[in-house]
């Protein structure tokens, strides 16, 4: 139960009546009360999103860039979770990737394991976007899995070294990338300080 919950609830109470009147005024007399009630029942974030989409459509402004970085793209995040994160000013995948998972877990009341999993996915999603879905079945779900692959690839004594050597070209083929350039991307992800932090938390 965070301060943002109290402020959000207060704001909804303040704007519920004028918004109900405004929406009911443009409807017929028979359905006006129902529309007024329905508007009050909608979450504030959803109403704001609806108004933004309507404004963009009316003004002819595209919002494809914002939509492509929507945190709803990550596994495990639905609209309800997105609203809770939005209350903490976490609104994009990039925000998730570089947030403080300890503070976010405490302020949002989401479990620490869930938050770190979202951060893990976000760090990889920033590089691959929807292509990340293609390599999840191969065990590459996020940044820490990529780091484990790179660590095994570089360490001849690692029991998974041979499997990593064999797997890397297969992953590159699925992503339709050159193995050498993909290795650069994987190493950037693996050496990111946030990835290293997640790996230490995991182990």
Read off the pLDDT of residues 114-132 as tens digits, 9 standing for 90 and up: 999 999 999 999 999 999 9
Answering whether pTM is above 0.75, one says: no
Type and span of the H or E element at 21? helix 3-25
φ, ψ for residue 70, nearest 5 deg: -70, 135
123-172 per-position pLDDT tens digit: 999 999 999 999 999 889 999 999 999 999 999 999 999 999 999 999 99
Q: Give per-residue burial for 143-160: e unless 16+ CB within 10 Å, then b.
A: bbbbbbbbebbeeeeeee
4-54 per-position pLDDT tens digit: 778 877 887 787 777 777 777 776 677 767 766 766 666 666 666 666 666
């Amino acid at each position: 139960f965070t301060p943002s919950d109290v402020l959000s609830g207060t704001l909804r109470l303040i704007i519920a009546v004028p918004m109900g009147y405004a929406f009911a005024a443009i409807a017929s007399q028979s359905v006006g009360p129902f529309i007024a009630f329905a508007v009050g029942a909608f979450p504030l974030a959803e109403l704001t999103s609806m108004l933004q989409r309507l404004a963009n459509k009316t003004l002819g402004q595209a919002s494809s860039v914002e939509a492509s970085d929507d945190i709803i793209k990550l596994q495990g995040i639905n609209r309800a979770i997105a609203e809770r994160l939005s209350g903490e000013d976490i609104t994009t995948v990039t925000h998730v990737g570089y947030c403080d998972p300890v503070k976010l877990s405490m302020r949002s009341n989401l479990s620490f394991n869930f938050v770190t999993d979202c951060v893990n996915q976000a760090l990889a999603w920033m590089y691959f976007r929807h292509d990340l879905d293609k390599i999840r079945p191969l065990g590459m779900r996020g940044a820490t899995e990529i780091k484990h692959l790179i660590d095994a690839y570089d360490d001849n004594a690692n029991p998974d070294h041979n499997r990593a050597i064999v797997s890397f070209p297969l992953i590159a083929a699925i992503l339709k990338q050159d193995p050498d350039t993909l290795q650069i991307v994987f190493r950037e992800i693996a050496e990111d300080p946030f990835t290293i932090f997640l790996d230490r938390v995991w182990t």
